[in-house]
Amino acid sequence: DMKPNSKNLVAIARRCISGKIPDDCDIGLRRKVIMVNVISFVAILNLVPLGIVAFFKDNLTLFISDIGVAAVLIACLIYSRKTNRYEVSIYFGTLSAGILFCWLLLTGGVNETGHLWYYTFPLFALFLLGLKKGSIASLILFLVALVVFFGDFNFSYFARYSFDFKIRFIPSFIVVFAYAYLFENLRKKDEQALNLKNWE
């Protein structure tokens, strides 16, 4: 009795992840839709409980930002499934994640762990937006980090980072960005070579 139920659950999960994208669509777009759906679902499942934790820790600003981004991602998923306009979900999802990550770095997040999300951004931004737009978006986030680290902010709810932390964060983010750029560049070249071979 368990096997049919598990198969049904797997089928439901696949439908949620792949959306209503047609079978004959471009494979690159299919991968992006699956990626943005997975990221959105994971983000929603993380942001909602993190927002609840922030609420009970009396961090109303973080609670509003977490729940707000989760709501935007849910709206994007519903919109893309109903209209088949997946680019909107891709751009809004990436933009919402970038804004949230900047805010988490600025405020420190729960228990000063907000900066950890920063490392994930180049990994999915370059794939979803492409080399040029993804690189620009990642570099904008990097510049925001530099402003946060070296700007003279006197607001009580802004996080304070030590110099040791800064000199470790900056090169580590650059390494993640370089890896994401190289991986996407090679993937793009392999895809072009494969398309050329198929055409021939």
Full-model pTM: 0.71
Round the average pLDDT of the chain to a whole number and report it. Answer: 80
Above pLDDT 70, what percent of the chain? 82
Token pair, residue 177, equals 């960005």
Question: Which pLDDT score, from 0 to 100, does residue 178 have?
Answer: 94
Distance CA 39, CA 95 (A): 13
197 is written with which tokens? 């071979």
Q: How far apart are CA 21 and CA 85, in angstroms?
A: 10
Q: Please give the Cα distance from 35 to 93 (Å, whole number).
A: 11
How far apart are alpha carbons 30 and 36 in whole angstroms? 10
Mark residue 160 as left, alpha or beta (left: phi above 0; alpha: psi -120 to 50; beta: remaining): beta
pLDDT in tens, 115-151: 888 898 998 899 888 889 999 999 999 999 998 888 7
pLDDT score recorded for residue 143: 94
Work out the pLDDT band at 3, boundaries 50, 70, 90. Answer: very low
Tokens 């570099």 -> residue: 139
